Amino acid sequence: MSNIVIQLSGKELEKVKTYYLENKVDRNAPGLIFSAKLPDVVISIYRSGKIMFQGAGSEREASRWNMDVQGSTSSIRTTHLPENLSTSSVIGSDETGTGDFFGPMTVAACFVPHDKIALLKELGVKDSKNLTDTQMVDMSEHIKAACIYSVLILGNVKYNSLQQNGYNQGKMKAMMHNQVLKHVLRKIAPDKPDYILIDEFAKKDIYYRYIGKEPEIIRENVYFSTKAEGLHVAVAAASIIARVAFVEEMNRLSQSAGVTLPKGAGPKVDEIAAKLLLSKGKEFVSTITKSHFANTEKAWSLVKQKKRNT
Ligand code: MN
């Protein structure tokens, strides 16, 4: 039986938890903070930051997170990428807001022709995780002025209704990536990129299975890689555009809520959600959150606690 252990940081652990939320199972073991079960693999997340994948599907699932593999019984290989990728004309795409209880999921694609790579690097364009929101707002304006791009914001009302209709996050992401890529290809036509690079959230075959039978599916010269922001500046640019769109939408939602909405899915989020349930009601909260997250339940238990204490 295949058994793989990887080590991730707290922020990334949250992503893994969110990803497997629908497959969550209740299990008690020392140090265990989360467990999920797929048909061919059991995923266990420990307080130490270690994640264990057990079962026939462990390599497939572990490779999604592409981290330092410890004690692996099988090797993990990333997809073969073109050698001249980083110096070519590329459309990159990336998403954000997937692990945040409040606010929308956003996806962006950006076309960076080879002769603009230097300019974007000069602007300091790199992985959005290494930039502050303020830095990115400025950078996003420069990127948008210099490059052709497309950005999609999936509002919470639509997100929740899709989720209730059986769409998982992977499927929503795949559909949105396909959309933004289509938009950018249309805008740059008859010009074409050498390659399209998607920051990988699902393996290629799963990505296309998620898209299903859309009338127009972008397949030509498409490559997938984790940490793709580091492989071509177009993905970094897309990640910045997506992030800024997310932050702007969060600011707008914060105004309508009358409180600064926290990012992520931690205890602060539960606290604010509980306050909003009391002041604005359940209906309102569902319009600004991803309702299926565990935060909904946690916020309700805080509400009950508060009521008991008054
Ligand atoms: Mn990404």
Q: What is the pLDDT of residues 213-257, one digit of tens each?
A: 899 999 999 999 999 999 999 999 999 999 999 999 999 999 999
Residues 87-252, CATH architecture: 2-Layer Sandwich (3.30)
pTM, entire model? 0.75
* Angle at 24 (CA atoms; ends 62, 77), nearest 5 degrees: 10
Q: What was the pLDDT predicted at 189? A: 97
How far does the centroid of ligand 1 lie from the alpha carbon of residue 63, in Å?
14
Q: What is the mean pLDDT of residues 265-291?
A: 97
Residue 80 has pLDDT above 80, yes or no: no
Q: Which residues contact 228 (CB under 8 A, 6 or more apart)?
A: 92, 94, 197, 198, 199, 200, 235
pLDDT given for residue 138 in this prediction:
93
Is 69's pLDDT higher than 80?
no
Model pLDDT, residue 67? 53
Asked whether 197 and 220 are in contact (CB, 8 A), the reply is: no
Q: Tell me phi and psi for residue 152, to 5 degrees.
A: -120, 135
Residue 76: the pLDDT is: 41
Spacing, Cα 1 to ligand 1 middle (Å): 30
What's the fold here for domain 3-65? TATA-Binding Protein (3.30.310)
Confidence (pLDDT) at 250: 97
Ligand 1 midpoint to CA 214 (Å): 23
What residue ranges do the domains of the chain occupy?
Answer: 3-65, 87-252, 262-309
Q: Please choose, from the candidates 81, 261, 111, the residue with its C-alpha nearest in 3D space to the C-alpha of residue 187.
A: 111
Q: Say how many Å lie between the CA of residue 35 and the centre of ligand 1.
A: 23
Q: Tell me, what's the pLDDT at 65?
A: 79
End-to-end Cα distance, the chain: 54
Percent of the chain at pLDDT exceeding 90 = 76
pLDDT score recorded for residue 221:
96
Residue 310 half-sphere exposure toward CB, CA atoms < 13 A: 6
| pLDDT value at residue 307 | 84
Q: Which residue reads 């309702």 in tokens? A: 291
What is the whole-number distance in angstroms between the Cα of residue 176 and the centre of ligand 1?
13
What is residue 1's predicted lDDT score, i.e. its pLDDT?
Answer: 55
Whole-number mean pLDDT of the chain? 91
pLDDT, residue 77, reads: 39
Checking if the pLDDT of 158 tops 80, the result is yes
Q: Are 3-65 and 87-252 equal in CATH topology?
A: no
Q: Which of 31-35, 122-126, 288-292 has the highest mean pLDDT?
A: 288-292
